[in-house]
Homo-oligomer: A and B are copies of this chain.
Amino acid sequence: MKETAQILREKGLKVTPQRIAVYNMLLNSTEHPNAETIYRALEPTNPTMSLATVYKTLDYFKQLGLVQELNVGEGSSRYDAVVKCHPHTVCMQCGKVQDLFLDELTEIHKKVKEELDFQVNCEQLILYGICGDCRKNKIEA
């Protein structure tokens, strides 16, 4: 696996501890954290880290295609280091956000192009519902 430092350098960014920390946190997490969550996770190990830097860093990363911003209807944006367009499920009970990969979407792109003359670049599909765990807990309760 490529070094985070090298990836940043290739994108023309200076390599700083803050940037490495943010990117690694996103790579090693599946929870799609928001800026605040990233900040709080990194604060203990990077005592000088500031929330503004997290925002600035995420903004750079987003523009350089290193991360994807995701808004599932909460107040704040979540971030995902998986950059390729892919759907997400959002559990309306526990709030968990999970990745998902579906082939069916390419067909939809084609159809929309033909029928509406709309050229799709990227899509965001958010499936709201109740995850298996929460359904189980509901029945037990």
Contact = CB atoms under 8 A, between A and B. Distances in A.
Interface stretch (A16-24, A37-45, A115-123): A115-123
A48 B8 CA distance: 53
Contacts of A86: none
A65 interface: no
Interface in A6-44: none
* Contact residues on A (Cβ < 8 Å of other chain), bracket: 20 to 34
The oligomer's copy count stands at 2
B129 A120 contact: yes
B116 A89 contact: yes
Nearest to A124: B126
A118 to B, nearest CB: 5
A83 interface: no
A47 interface: no
A124 B92 CA distance: 13
Contact of A124 (B102, B107, B128): B128
A51 interface: no
A56 B111 CA distance: 38
A112 B111 CA distance: 21
B123 A126 contact: yes
A122 B118 CA distance: 24
